[in-house]
Amino acid sequence: MHNTLTRVQNVFGFFTSVAFAVAAAIAMSVLLSPQTPSASLELRNVQVVKGRPHYYSTKREEYAHVKFDLDADLTSLFSWNTKQLFLYITASYPSSDPTIIPPSEAVIWDAIIPSDYAPLHPNTYIHPTSKTAPKPKKSAKGKGKKEVGKPYPAGASPGIVRLDNQKPKYQITDVSGKIAERENATLTLHWNVQPWVGALVWTNTKTVGRWQGLQGGEAKFAFPPLKGTEVKKDDLKTETGGERNRGSPA
Amino acid sequence: MDQILEQARTIYEGEIDFKGQQLAELLTYALLTISGIIAFLAGFVTQNIYQTLYIGLGGTALTFLVVVPPWPYYNQNPQPWLPAKTGKSALDGVSIEVDGKKIS
């Protein structure tokens, strides 16, 4: 510590130790905040039609289009160390030979739900506004300001998701190209809790310490037989998230 | 010119005395540890991790400011030089050899 340079080195060196210790304490502190996630997920409609992977493809495959209802309360997943929550729903179905081949899983919908403190990002989820909720009054003050959608319903907090007859984000198919009439399929809600510092946490279905497992969030269904052109194109539309801006300025 | 360079060197090196070094070390550990604890608690109580970040960085900046410059309170106990010896007694107890020959 006899001259300026050694003092700078010593202070900075100890600062890194303190920063690491505080980060470790923050990462561990999330174990203290109780979690009680619950969700009700239901299949609304599923249709299977023929399609092709991209415009110029000559390959014809079967695609399933799954609509669902989701009513989830995941507010307890937002502790002080939660930056954002990645929510996703998978459709899984058993393979042709379950003893050898594990079941297939395909994501049909996902959303990034930021915490209130997370900086604004164009890819984060915007919750649809419900038809029954009163529309915000337009005042002269807010005229110049552009309305920015929230990742949760009006009056709620991050982690509340209420979706009614939600379109999927992705149509799904199987490697074999055949997905119609598969039995024992399951829709499942999953998540990743992405912290500011610490470990990424996946869906927990079992209770660990103060963290309760997810209640609900599963729905059984079966893929229906293939349909032809009687299905309207409008019924097979998919939802696009903020990430459709990919590559263009936000 | 030499005097100016000497002054510049003194400012750049910023040397402090032994007691000052002990104090600077104590202050480094105390200030950084306390600011780390306060930062964590403030963030935990307000449930806002930005509090932790900014209090932590602020505490570190303060520590740099307090410890790094050679403030006068680090030079309160300068180590005195030994009194200069003159004449024959200056070489008492000192043996100098050059090419195997004893000079004194």
Confidence band for A144, pLDDT divided at 50, 70 and 90:
very low
Give chain A positions within 8 Å (CB) of B67.
Answer: 7, 10-11
For residue range A38-47, list pLDDT tens digits in order.
999 999 999 9
Rounded to the nearest angstrom, the minimum Cα separation between A75 and chain B is 14
Pairing state of beta strands A226-227 and A38-51?
parallel
Among B80, B9, B2, smallest CA distance to A5 is for B9
Nearest-CA neighbor of A130 among A157, A152, A158, A159?
A152
Predicted ipTM of the assembly: 0.82
Secondary structure class of B55 (helix, strand, coil) = helix
Q: How confident is the model at residue A124 (pLDDT cuts 50, 70, 90)?
A: confident
Q: Residues B77-86: what's their mean pLDDT?
A: 85
Tell me the pLDDT band of B19, cut-offs 50, 70 and 90: very high
Helices (H), chain A: 4-29
| Contact between A68 and A187 (Cβ < 8 Å) | yes
Q: Give me the phi and psi of A143, to 5 degrees please.
A: -65, -45
Instruction: Decide if A42 contacts A69 (C-beta within 8 A).
Output: yes
* Interface membership of B99 toward A (CB under 8 Å): no
To the nearest whole percent, how much of chain B has pLDDT over 90? Answer: 64
Shortest distance, CA B81 to any CA of chain A (angstroms): 17
CB proximity B42 to A under 8 Å = no
Answer yes or no: are the C-beta atoms of A62 and A178 closer than 8 Å: yes
- The partner residue sitting opposite A11, judged by closest CB among B28, B40, B49, is B28
Find tokens 């229906």 and name the residue.
Answer: A224
Q: What is the spatial distance between Cα A26 and Cα A79, in angstroms, rounded to a whole number? A: 11
| Nearest-angstrom CA–CA distance, A201 and A213 | 12
Q: Mean pLDDT across the stretch A93-121?
A: 91
* Bridge partners (DSSP) listed for residue A195: A82
Those residues with Cβ within 8 angstroms of residue B83's Cβ, 6 or more apart along the chain or in another chain: none
The DSSP secondary-structure symbol of A131 reads: S
Asked if the Cβ–Cβ distance from A15 to B14 is below 8 Å, we say no
From the candidates B68, B74, B77, which should be mutated to test the interface with A, based on the most A CB atoms within 10 A? B68
Q: Do B67 and A22 touch (CB under 8 A)?
A: no
Q: What percent of chain A has pLDDT over 70?
A: 89
> CA A11 from chain center: how many Å?
42
Half-sphere exposure of B76 (CA within 13 A, CB side): 8
Q: Considering only CB atoms, which chain A residues are within 8 Å of B63?
A: 11, 15
